[in-house]
Every structure is written in structure tokens, then in C-alpha cells.
Amino acid sequence: MGLHRILVADDEESMRWVLSKALRKKGYSVDLAADGNQALRQVREQSYDLVIVDIKMPGMSGLEFLDKARELRPDLLVVVMTAEASMKNAVEAMKRGAYDYITKPFDLEVIDAIIEKVSRARDVSNQVSLLKQELKDRYQVEKNIIGNSAAMREVYKTIGKVAGSDITVLIQGESGTGKELIARAIHFNSTRLGKPFVAINCAAIPKDLLESELFGSERGAFTGATERKTGKFEQANHGTIFLDEIGDMPLDLQAKILRVLQEQEITRIGGSQNLSVDVRVVAATNQELQERVRNREFREDLYYRLNVVPINLAPLRERSEDIPALVEYFLERACAELEIPTKQCAPEAMELLSNYSWPGNVRELENTIKRGVILSSDPYLTTADFASLTNRQETIHAIPQEQSLESLVEMKLRNSMNGIEKLDKGDIYDRVLEQVERPLIRYVLEKTRGNQVRAADILGINRNTLRKKISELGVSIKKD
């Protein structure tokens, strides 16, 4: 965490020079401003870990800057520099929220001490906010796992038993049964709470990229590796890694995962150093792993190593007594999202839902309820609202991701286009498409770090079309 970026604002050029030289020598990135206005502009445009500002500057004074800067960024840490003679100013600055003050003239050691103090304070405050967030998540996880069937009660018992230790857990279950939800519950109920939970879907990442995603790579390890990259195992240090769809992992990588489990060590691609990591592994699969072991597609030793404690999530059709509670839960959530009073499900509709086979499991049920809520204008959902269940059995579960995106877009559209029928004319069609295109392109460019050739390939559009769209839509490209 620590400090990286510092802004120094002083009208005295010599002071700027001395401070920037000293700070840069210590490896910080330093920006300079010659007056309060310029400093404020920079604070608006950049994010700084620390601002060191002279209190006495022409134009906007340091105190005025302090007020305005903290209005823009309430968490900004500002240290003011003041002449010894004007202690009153220092007191005033502290009252207005300065983090500390230094009296001029000062030795560079004073600056070192301040930076050390700021660094420590930032680390503590970062840790506190991480903990707060994760406690919140934990609370939500507990509240968010629904189901009181014997099968689910067994799952809760196992979570309780394994959460306190570092035992490796293998969660098996069909797609959409809640494997990731359970993995999170294990993490958030363990002593690793407050440390990272890192999930990676081994089936979603191309095989040749998976290794560097997991273990990281050194600069120059392969073409295109222009900088060092930390892998998911390093990111999950002291926390939990969730290896989803582990059954899809290629055999050579399986051997490497086994090594991490045995030795708690990883090596970045292109690196020679072994790095020790302390990571709890929770893996999941929707395939018959034992079958894959028999077919020699999955290493037997890894299977036993992962399967220390198995959790089997039954498909929803085998625990249909959980369906009514899940329906109510998803009804409440969908209506809250739409900011409408909670809808109910008529008894016959509930029966229909309870008897359906749910090949896409809980995820499919969740999407079906969302869709029902959006499309019906009545406070009661009836069998008519779910009539399509009988004839879309074959297709709906094949595209759960797309369907949920569609529901989400539909929900937003309906929410934001109230009264549209009163318009005589408009350009709604183009404007809506633009609003979908822009975030899509921005997202893919972000993921490809601004590489337009790769982005066009992923999007499946022509490179020139992409270029045109970027300029027409005014997509800004962030390269980090």
C-alpha cells in the first residue's frame, strides 16, 4: 500500500526544487505546483497520497487550498508548511483538517518522519476499511444463503466444521447450484476474514494465459510481457483462492497446483525465485471429477489433495422444498432493485415453480423470477407469467449469462423511460444503443490495456469499425 504520489505546492522555486529532489530520490512520484490554484487543479485531475503545501502563497493561500481540496477529496492527506512566526496559522490549518504541519526552515529528516507517519496511518486506515467491507460481505453471505432442506443443512454443518481451519475444500455441483456462494461463506467465516478472497474461473481463461493468471509472470517472460504481473495466488496471499471449474485445468497446470498445495510456494513465469504463499484453496467443479481421474484427464494425486473435505451441492430439483423460500427471496430482491412494492407469487404459480426441473438450478430460478417481476404489471405473479417455462426448457439454461444481462438492461430501461409514450419524436433507439456500446467498448479496451487490435478481435468487429466507434462515441482509453 504505502505512499506513491506526492504533490508539493510552494511559490518558492528553491523549496520546490529541494523537496522534489529529496522525495524523488526516495522513489516517490512528485508533482509540483507554484500556487494554490494550480495545486487545486492538479488535485482535481489526479489522485495524490499526500499534498505538502505552503501556507503563504500569492493568490489562493494554503488554508483556502486546504478547504477547497478537502471539499473535492475529503480523504486527502495535507501537510502544511508554515513559518515559525505564524503558529496561529498552523493551529488554524489543523482545525480545518490538515493532517500535520511543519515549520520552516526544516531538516529533510522532518519530512521523512512525516512521510513515515502518513504511510503507517494510510495502511491502518486501508486495513480498517477492508475489514469493514468484508464484515459487511460476511453478514450478507449469511443472510444470502437460502434453503433449509436436509441437503442444505448438511452443507451448513460442513461449512461450520471447515471454516475455522485451512483444510482444502472441493465443492461439487451442477452449474448454478451456488458453489461460489458457498466458497465465499467458507472464507468469510474463517480466520482469513479481512484478507483477500480471489476467485478465478479456470474454464473461462484461455489455456495459454491461465498459468500467468495463476502464478504471475516476470517482465519479458514471453512476448507481450512488458511488465511484471502478480498472479492470483500472490493476490490471495493470507486469504483464500477459489479455483472454479478446476476440472478444466490442463494436466501440466494441475501438477503446478499440486506443488503449491504441497509446498506453499509458487514461481512466476520467467522467474527463478520461489515465492512462499500462504493461501487456502477452495476448488469447485460441475464435472464428475472421479470420472476424469479414471480417464486420466485429471491427476489422481491432485484429486485426493483437493478433496480433503467434499461439499456436494444437490441440484435444485432434488431439494425442491427450498424453492418457495428462494422464490420469496428473489421476489423481494428484484422488487427492491426496481424500487417497487414486493410482489407475491400465487399458490398455483408457486406449485409450477416447485415442480419445474431447473436444469440451470438456482441461477435459472433467480433469472426467471427477475423476468417475471419485470414483465408483469400485477402485484401477484400467476402461472401465466411463467408459462414460457414449459416451452423454453431447452434453451433458457444454455445462455444464463446473456439472459441475466438482458433482464438487467430491461429493468434499467423500464425504470428510466417512464413516460416515453408522451414523446412525439425522439432518437431513443440510437441513444440507447450508444449507451450500451460505449461501456462495452470501454470495458474490453480496459481489459486489453488499450490494445485496439485485440479488442476488435474479442468483440468480433472489424478494427477500423472499432477505431471509428472509439472516436464517434468519444470513448476514453485508460492504459494502466
Q: Any residues with CB less than 8 A from the CB of 185 and at least 6 apart, and which?
A: 141, 142, 145, 159, 163
Closest residue to ligand ATP using C-beta atoms: 178
Max Cα distance, the chain (Å) = 84
CB of residue 10 to ligand ATP, shortest distance in Å: 53
Nearer Cβ to ligand ATP, position 86 or 144? 144
Q: How far is the CB of 77 from ligand ATP (least distance, A)?
A: 38
- Using the minimum distance from each CB to ligand ATP, give the nearer residue, 231 or 360: 360
Q: CB of 283: closest distance to ligand ATP in angstroms? A: 12
CA 466 → CA 440, 443, 448, 450, 452, distances in Å?
Answer: 11, 13, 14, 12, 8
CB of 344 to ligand ATP, least distance (A): 19
Provide the binding-site residues for ligand ATP, judged by CB under 6 A.
144-147, 173, 175-181, 244, 286, 362-363, 366
Q: Which residue, 62 or 176, has its beta carbon nearer to ligand ATP?
A: 176
Q: What is the DSSP string of 380-396?
A: EE-GGGGTHHHHSTTTG
- Residue 13's nearest CA partner among 25, 21, 24, 3 is 21
Least spacing, CB of residue 180 vs ligand ATP, in Å: 4
Rounded least distance, CB 96 to ligand ATP, Å: 45
Q: Give least dist CB 203 to ligand ATP, A.
A: 9
Q: State the pairing for strand pair 265-266/275-276.
A: antiparallel
Query: Closer CB to ligand ATP, residue 55 or residue 282?
Result: 282
What CA–CA distances, in Å, run from 457 to 211, 441, 460, 480? 22, 12, 5, 21
Whole-number Å distance between alpha carbons of 67 and 61: 10
402/480 with CB nearer ligand ATP: 402
Give the integer Cα–Cα distance in Å for 70 and 424: 46
Nearer to ligand ATP, 54 or 244 (CB): 244
Beta bridge partners of 243: 200, 283
Separation CA 270–CA 216 (nearest Å): 9
Neighbours of 238 (CB within 10 A): 12
Cβ 413 to ligand ATP shortest distance, Å: 21
23 with 53: CB under 8 angstroms?
Answer: no
H or E element at residue 162: helix 150-163
* CA–CA dist 227, 221 (Å, integer): 9
Choice between 121 and 399, CB closer to ligand ATP: 399
Closer to ligand ATP at the Cβ: 53 or 362? Answer: 362
